[in-house]
C-alpha cells in the first residue's frame, strides 16, 4: 500500500485499486487482493498471450467477490494484522541477530580492531581476557597487505571444499516423482527473508538425486549463487541437492560455515571481479578457488563459530516460527474472507499460533 498523501506514479503494467471506505475498508482491500477468491477472478478474466498473460483494467470492476459488512471487515483485518505484525517482529529480530554477528566478524576479521588495540597498548574492548589473548599484538605484511601476525593467507579453495550441482532432465517425471529430496536453484533465494534455507520449491526423486554428482549436501552447507545473479548466500538447515547455479561449500573445512557466510559477504565485490561470461556473468569453481583468504587461528575461529552459531540458532528458530505463522495467516485468509470461518474461531486459531 502507498502511504496516504504520498505522491507517486505508476507504469503501464500496473493498476491502482482504491477502497472508498464506505463499502470496502482500505486495509481489507489489501487482504482481499491476496486471497484465493480474488485470484480466481483474475484467472477467469486473464488473457493468455504468446509471450505473457495480461489482465485488462476494465475487467476488474466485473470481478464477483464476497465482501462482508464494514464492521466485520475491520475485525477480520485485526486478526490477520496481529499475525502479520508478529511475523514482521520475528524477521526484524532476525535482521538484528544477523547484524550483530556481521559487526563482530567485521571488527575481528576485517578491521582487526582487537589487534590494533593491543598493538597500541590498549585492552580490546568488549571481550574477556581469554578471548583477547587469542589475538596477536602486531601485524605483518602479506599478499593482502597488513594482517595479524601468524594469520596465514591461503586460496579459499585450500580452506574449504567447493562443489557444484546439476538439474535432472525436467521432461523425465521419474526424476521428480516421488518428490523426496530437497533440490534448490537460486530462485529459492531470490526473495528469501532470512539467510537460512529451510525448504525448497522443488524436490527430486531418488532417481533424480542419482543424476546429481554432488548428491545431498549436509545441513550447514553454505550455498552461493554463481550466476544470474552472483551473490545470493544461504546456510542450509536441511540436507539438499543443488543445481548448476551454485558454488556450495559443505561444512568440515578449516573455515566454519558462519565465518564463510560473512567472508563471502565481505568479499563479494572481489568474488564478482573473477566472473566472466557473454550472456550473463558467472563465476566458476575454478575461478573462485584461487581467491585469497586470511586464515586466523583455529581457536579464534572456534570462538567466533560458537558465538555466531548461537545467534544463527535463534535466527533459525525465529524463521521456523515465522513460516508457521505465514501458514496460519494464509490458511485463515480465504476462510475469513469467504465467511467459512467465524471470527471467534479465527481469533482462537490466531491466538494459539501467536502463543507458540
pLDDT digits (tens, 9 = 90+) for 107-140: 999 999 999 999 999 999 989 999 999 999 999 9
What is the C-alpha to C-alpha distance for residues 220 and 240, in angstroms, rounded to an integer? 10
Residue ending a domain, choose from 43, 67, 91: 67
Are 114 and 124 spatial neighbours (Cβ–Cβ below 8 Å)? yes
User: Residue 16, exposed/middle/buried by CB under 10 A (0-12, 13-18, 19+)?
Assistant: exposed
Q: Domain residues for 185?
A: 157-293
Both 252 and 355 in one domain: the answer is: no
Please determine, for residue 80, whether its predicted confidence score (pLDDT) is greater than 90: yes
100 lies in the same domain as 202? no
Residue holding cell 569453481?
Answer: 285
Residue whose C-alpha is closest to residue 61's, from 77, 45, 50, 48: 45
Residues 80-99, mean pLDDT to the nearest whole number: 97
What gap in Å lies between CA 263 and CA 248, rounded to an integer?
14
Asked if 38 and 133 sit in the same domain, the reply is: no
Over the chain, what is the mean pLDDT?
93
pLDDT band at 275 (very low <50, low <70, confident <90, very high): very high
Q: Are residues 45 and 11 in the same domain?
A: yes
- Residues 177, 266: one domain? yes
- Distance from C-alpha of 148 to C-alpha of 137, rounded to nearest angstrom: 8
Q: Are residues 211 and 258 in the same domain?
A: yes
Number of domains forming the structure of the chain: 3
**Residues 126 and 25 both lie in one domain:** no
More confident site: 354 or 287: 287
What is d(CA 97, CA 91) in angstroms, rounded to the nearest whole number?
Answer: 10
Residues 335 and 261 in one domain: no
Q: Are residues 167 and 281 in the same domain?
A: yes
Q: Do 246 and 210 share a domain, yes or no? A: yes
Distance between CA 163 and CA 335 in Å, rounded?
45
Residue 76 sits in the same domain as residue 177: no
Amino acid at each position: 500500500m502507498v502511504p496516504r498523501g504520498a505522491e507517486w506514479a505508476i507504469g503501464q503494467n500496473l493498476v491502482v485499486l482504491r477502497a472508498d471506505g464506505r463499502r470496502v475498508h482500505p486495509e481489507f482491500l489489501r487482504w482481499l487482493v491476496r486471497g484465493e477468491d480474488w485470484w480466481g477472478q483474475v484467472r477467469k478474466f486473464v488473457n493468455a498471450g504468446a509471450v505473457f498473460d495480461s489482465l485488462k483494467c476494465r475487467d476488474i470492476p466485473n470481478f464477483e467477490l464476497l465482501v462482508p459488512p464494514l464492521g466485520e471487515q475491520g475485525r477480520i483485518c485485526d486478526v490477520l494484522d496481529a499475525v502479520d505484525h508478529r511475523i514482521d517482529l520475528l524477521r526484524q529480530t532476525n535482521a538484528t541477530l544477523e547484524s550483530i554477528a556481521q559487526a563482530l566478524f567485521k571488527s575481528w576479521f576485517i578491521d582487526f580492531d582487537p589487534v590494533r588495540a593491543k598493538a597500541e597498548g590498549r585492552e580490546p574492548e568488549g571481550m574477556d581476557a581469554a578471548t583477547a589473548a587469542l589475538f596477536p599484538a602486531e601485524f605483518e605484511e602479506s599478499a593482502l597487505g597488513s594482517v595479524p601476525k601468524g594469520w596465514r593467507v591461503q586460496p579459499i579453495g585450500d580452506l574449504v571444499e567447493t562443489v557444484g550441482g546439476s538439474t535432472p532432465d525436467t521432461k523425465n517425471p521419474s526424476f521428480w516423482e516421488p518428490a523426496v529430496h530437497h533440490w534448490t536453484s537460486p530462485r529459492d533465494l531470490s526473495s528469501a527473508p532470512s539467510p537460512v534455507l529451510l525448504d525448497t520449491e522443488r524436490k527430486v526423486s531418488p532417481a533424480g538425486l542419482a543424476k546429481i554428482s554432488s548428491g545431498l549436501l549436509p545441513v550447514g552447507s553454505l550455498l552461493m549463487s554463481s550466476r544470474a545473479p552472483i551473490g545470493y548466500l544461504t546456510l542450509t538447515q536441511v540436507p539438499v541437492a543443488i543445481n548448476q547455479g551454485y558454488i556450495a561449500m559443505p561444512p568440515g573445512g578449516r573455515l566454519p560455515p558462519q565465518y564463510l557466510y560473512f567472508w563471502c559477504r565481505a568479499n563479494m565485490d572481489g568474488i564478482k571481479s573473477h566472473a566472466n561470461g557473454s550472456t550473463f556473468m558467472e563465476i566458476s569453481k575454478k575461478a573462485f578457488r584461487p581467491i585469497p583468504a586470511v586464515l586466523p587461528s583455529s581457536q579464534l575461529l572456534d570462538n567466533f563459530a560458537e558465538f555466531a552459531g548461537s545467534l544463527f540458532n535463534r535466527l533459525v528458530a525465529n524463521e521456523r516460527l515465522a513460516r508457521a505463522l505465514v501458514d496460519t495467516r494464509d490458511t485463515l485468509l480465504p476462510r475469513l474472507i469467504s465467511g467459512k470461518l467465524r471470527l471467534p474461531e479465527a481469533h482462537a486459531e490466531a491466538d494459539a499460533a501467536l502463543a507458540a
